[in-house]
Structure 1
Amino acid sequence: MSGKLHVSNLGKSYRHWGSELRRFASWFFPSISPQKEHWVLKGISFSISPGEAVGIIGQNGAGKSTLLKIITGTTQPTVGEVQLTGRVAAILELGMGFNPDLTGRENAFHSAGLMGYSRIEIEKAMPEIETFAEVGKYFDEPVRTYSSGMQMRVAFSVATAFLPDLLIIDEALSVGDSYFQHKSFDRIRQFRDRGVSIMFVTHGMDDVRTLCDRVILLEGGRALKDGPPDEVVDFYNALIAEKENTKLTVEQRREKNGWLLTRSGSGEARVKSLQLLDANTGTDVAVAQVGQRVLLKLQATIHADIDRLVLGYMIRDKQGHVIWGTNTWHTSQVEQDIKAGEIVTFELPFTCTLGPGSYSVSPALVSSDTHLTDNYEWVDNLLVFDVINASKEYFIGSNYLDAQFNISRKIEESTE
């Protein structure tokens, strides 16, 4: 595999000249500037190495789709350059490049041909394209009769029918049924394991954490952050809350255990301490056993009078996937009229039914069911603990189920 992408000082602006004469004159006199200029991308530089999977995240309007269109050549940059090596397969806007009056099969031939494959190669791959898409008889029906999910199935099947050097995927996979999404991500993971470079744009943060080696956060057309998935995703979540709460501050630091701690909030309430304790003895627990009764104890200090206080928890595994979460809004345990100087203690006893592994607890002190209204303090991965299985039957996965097999046997009666 030799897929490599290098983007250098990329920028895209949309210009309004006021007249064709002024535009024409600017070709010969660079000092003549447009009447209006809007930069949707500016100063973007990054590289993707062979076999590397990079996620692109950001809110709507951040410039993600424009960046992909420039990289794939469907839009020209105003400044900067893109260097691509290897064969590229891209899935951008849903149905992009499909002729609605042609059948799925005919569009598959057309799209694969534009990717540079010969008719013989496409005919050889066509049975696999048809099988993977699973649209049945509609494969030979006009695309205008397709649902958005069916279009995505065919587009993805064509783009991944051949092993590319670089696979570029936009938000197209967000449509359609969960079955095909899982099937598609399995194929993407197989490509990554075989050394294919991947550039992936999505709003699915769990997908980014699972699939990507690096994540780039775009904000206002610029690359705001480029780093490990947990660091960039947690920063992005805090950034969204910061937009809603102008008093917010965001800090990040990598702990000695490798977990990233991200703290944000306006400060009216703060976490004083968070402990995982044995529910029976009250002693600290660093390593919990499957089936052990434990207790999460959080003390919050109040620094200003607040009308409502809600505590929320997320428990995540080492990959950043949320294993469990809730808050006192949903359990109808909202604290009212809290005064500055108070200390509020929350205790949550539970049975540890997590599977063996490493987990983190992220607390949030807010005023309602969301941190977007009042985020007093949100701390990702504040408490980290391990789980071992010392007394239960062997099992795999992130959760222990209290399950046993029931087995019966009998001799089949003869029908003769």
Structure 2
Amino acid sequence: MSSENAIEVSNLSKCYQIYDTPRDRLMQMLFGGGNKRFYREFWSLREISFSIPKGKVYGILGKNGAGKSTLLQIICGTLAATTGEARVAGRVSALLELGSGFNPEFTGIENIYMNAQLLGLTRAEVDGKLDHIIAFADIGDHVHQPVKTYSSGMFARLAFSVAIHVDPDILIVDETLSVGDAWFQHKSMARMRKLMESGCTVLFVSHSIDAVRALCDYAIWIDGGTLKMQGNVTEVTNAYMNDVFVEHNRLILEANDVPIHDELDNVAVAGPTQVVANDQEEATPIDAEMPSDGAVLHVQAVQVLNADGKPVDRIEQRDELSLAIDVKFHKALKNVSIGFLIKDQFGQELTGESIFNSFRKGVEVHAGQLLRVRFRGANLLRGGQSYSVAIRINQVSRWDRSDNVVIYADELAAVFDVLTDNDEPMWFKFRMPFKVECQ
């Protein structure tokens, strides 16, 4: 194992034997062997390989049943692999399942000692950290009660507090932070950031793309038990989101009894304030010839404009900011909405707007038309930073968006800088126009 890596996974596979009846299990014990077997094989993981350098933060993405939890259990050593191996360097602290390792009959205090010692601390070391663990968990006198009386949020608080106070070299978190109140979630995120800054290697599993982008440097996408993609967190999450959009569309069309193949064959979800949508900006007829690739539309331009209407890649703080989006449609569509999201360098969504959100309805386009949309507003973003623009083109008619179908998505359609204003510096993401009164 390389001295630079905290985790190395090599050709890892996990197979489960599925028995249809208890009788089949008994028959396997008595007569199984050779080519005769009384079970079906289910491969939760197949030939997965990757390495994680020390001090890096990796997000693990994948749908339910993709094999994420199985992978983490093997890395932690609580589950044996069928083939391949997972090697780790250092102390591993894991939160794989809510309250796992807790004895429900023991009090919170007793479980703190038991779990911390299982993670490698001596009793004397736990004595020195006990007050800090109890204070961070913040569950009051319940810490002296059996954990079987705890709510799910109290479980999460105590388990997380123990995990972060054992000074782990590797911290593995599997959706635990989604449990509990908002205050604890924010406190947990802040503490995880401190661990990361101290050089702790972190594996973070979450269905929240915003959380993965905010916390992680890199991401690994597991799909159907195989490694589908790994690399920069922005690139991986963008690809994963496009895959989610496709599945989302399929479910929406099924729910609305729309023939899926007829509607989706030509729809490729892929990747490029005030909304101006008056008669001067309506769809303009152009060449209606369908492209050879069968695409429903092509995004011809996504541009950031300054106050003079000129395309720029940097803009002054507080200047007027415009986004110009030109889309050529090759197929007639109803209820079309075009929208955008502005994100920071971590992929966190800061603000956005859309045609549907502004007017509570979309527009109708015909084959061979060009739709020009301009979003205009004051630039309230902090200077000295770069921002990205994601665009989405949808078909939606219901205000609750229950019929929303994404027909185009580009998570990185444009990038621009906001220049620093030394006369009026900002220490926050964006400025809201507050009125200040002093008495």
Q: What TM-score results when the alignment is normalised by the length of structure 1?
A: 0.87
Shift in CA distance, 191/337, structure 1 to aligned 2, threshold 3 Å:
closer
Hey, what does 2:387 align to over in structure 1?
A: 359
Hey, what does 2:14 align to over in structure 1?
A: 12
Q: Of residues 318, 339, 342 in structure 1, which corresponds to 2:345?
A: 318
Is the Cα contact below 8 Å between 2:394 and 2:406 reproduced in 1? yes
Shift in CA distance, 216/303, structure 1 to aligned 2, threshold 3 Å:
same
Hey, what does 1:274 align to over in structure 2?
A: 302
CA RMSD across the alignment: 2.5
Once residues 313 and 103 of structure 2 are traced to their aligned partners in structure 1, the CA distance between those partners, rounded to angstroms, is 59
Once residues 158 and 391 of structure 1 are traced to their aligned partners in structure 2, the CA distance between those partners, rounded to angstroms, is 44
Is the Cα contact below 8 Å between 1:266 and 1:375 reproduced in 2? no
Deviation at 1:196, TM superposition (A): 1.3
Once residues 266 and 160 of structure 1 are traced to their aligned partners in structure 2, the CA distance between those partners, rounded to angstroms, is 52
- Greater shift after overlay, 291-300 or 382-391? 382-391
Once residues 196 and 113 of structure 1 are traced to their aligned partners in structure 2, the CA distance between those partners, rounded to angstroms, is 20
Shift in CA distance, 212/401, structure 1 to aligned 2, threshold 3 Å:
same
Hey, what does 2:287 align to over in structure 1?
A: none
Deviation at 1:217, TM superposition (A): 0.4
Q: Of residues 313, 330, 338 in structure 1, which corresponds to 2:365?
A: 338
Please give the per-residue CA displacement for 1:159-209, whole angstroms capped at 9, x wherever unaligned.
111211111111111100121112112221211211111111111212211
Residue segments in structure 1 that go unaligned for 5+ positions in a row: 254-264, 409-416
SS in 2 for 1:363: strand
Q: How does 1:391-402 map to 2 (within 5 A)?
A: 393-402=424-433
Is the Cα contact below 8 Å between 1:103 and 1:143 reproduced in 2? yes
Once residues 85 and 365 of structure 1 are traced to their aligned partners in structure 2, the CA distance between those partners, rounded to angstroms, is 46
Shift in CA distance, 242/23, structure 1 to aligned 2, threshold 3 Å:
farther
Q: Of residues 146, 152, 160 in structure 2, which corresponds to 1:142?
A: 146
1:288 equivalenced with 2:290 (yes/no): no
SS in 1 for 2:193: helix
Hey, what does 1:184 align to over in structure 2?
A: 188
Deviation at 1:2, TM superposition (A): 8.3
1:122 equivalenced with 2:149 (yes/no): no
Once residues 200 and 333 of structure 1 are traced to their aligned partners in structure 2, the CA distance between those partners, rounded to angstroms, is 37
Q: Of residues 161, 165, 173 in structure 2, which corresponds to 1:169?
A: 173
Is the Cα contact below 8 Å between 1:290 and 1:392 reproduced in 2? no
Shift in CA distance, 129/294, structure 1 to aligned 2, threshold 3 Å:
closer
Residue segments in structure 2 that go unaligned for 5+ positions in a row: 251-263, 273-292
Is the Cα contact below 8 Å between 1:2 and 1:85 reproduced in 2? no
1:45 equivalenced with 2:23 (yes/no): no
The amino acid of 2:418's aligned partner reads: V
Hey, what does 1:107 align to over in structure 2?
A: 111
Please give the per-residue CA displacement for 1:195-230, whole angstroms capped at 9, x wherever unaligned.
111111111212211222211001111110011100
Q: Of residues 315, 318, 324 in structure 2, which corresponds to 1:297?
A: 324
Is the Cα contact below 8 Å between 1:9 and 1:79 reproduced in 2? yes
Is the Cα contact below 8 Å between 1:298 and 1:346 reproduced in 2? yes
The amino acid of 1:282's aligned partner reads: G
The amino acid of 2:377's aligned partner reads: F
Shift in CA distance, 24/223, structure 1 to aligned 2, threshold 3 Å:
farther
Hey, what does 1:92 align to over in structure 2?
A: 96
Shift in CA distance, 344/178, structure 1 to aligned 2, threshold 3 Å:
same
| Percent identity (aligned) | 34
Once residues 311 and 152 of structure 2 are traced to their aligned partners in structure 1, the CA distance between those partners, rounded to angstroms, is 52
Please give the per-residue CA displacement for 1:217-271, whole angstroms capped at 9, x wherever unaligned.
0111111001110001010000112233554546679xxxxxxxxxxx9832332
Shift in CA distance, 371/240, structure 1 to aligned 2, threshold 3 Å:
farther
1:233 equivalenced with 2:237 (yes/no): yes
SS in 1 for 2:246: helix
1:58 equivalenced with 2:62 (yes/no): yes
Deviation at 1:135, TM superposition (A): 0.6
Shift in CA distance, 3/122, structure 1 to aligned 2, threshold 3 Å:
farther
Hey, what does 1:203 align to over in structure 2?
A: 207
Shift in CA distance, 266/9, structure 1 to aligned 2, threshold 3 Å:
farther
Shift in CA distance, 266/75, structure 1 to aligned 2, threshold 3 Å:
farther
Once residues 422 and 83 of structure 2 are traced to their aligned partners in structure 1, the CA distance between those partners, rounded to angstroms, is 63
Deviation at 1:295, TM superposition (A): 2.3
Q: Of residues 157, 163, 168 in structure 2, which corresponds to 1:159?
A: 163
Once residues 367 and 251 of structure 1 are traced to their aligned partners in structure 2, the CA distance between those partners, rounded to angstroms, is 15
Shift in CA distance, 16/205, structure 1 to aligned 2, threshold 3 Å:
closer
Please give the per-residue CA displacement for 1:128-167, whole angstroms capped at 9, x wherever unaligned.
1111111111111111221111111100111111211111
Shift in CA distance, 122/3, structure 1 to aligned 2, threshold 3 Å:
farther
The amino acid of 1:165's aligned partner reads: D
The amino acid of 1:398's aligned partner reads: K
Once residues 22 and 367 of structure 1 are traced to their aligned partners in structure 2, the CA distance between those partners, rounded to angstroms, is 54
Is the Cα contact below 8 Å between 2:269 and 2:408 reproduced in 1? no
Once residues 196 and 391 of structure 1 are traced to their aligned partners in structure 2, the CA distance between those partners, rounded to angstroms, is 36
The amino acid of 1:402's aligned partner reads: P
Deviation at 1:367, TM superposition (A): 0.3
Once residues 318 and 46 of structure 1 are traced to their aligned partners in structure 2, the CA distance between those partners, rounded to angstroms, is 25
Deviation at 1:393, TM superposition (A): 1.9
Once residues 34 and 289 of structure 1 are traced to their aligned partners in structure 2, the CA distance between those partners, rounded to angstroms, is 70
- Greater shift after overlay, 328-337 or 124-133? 328-337
Hey, what does 1:347 align to over in structure 2?
A: 374
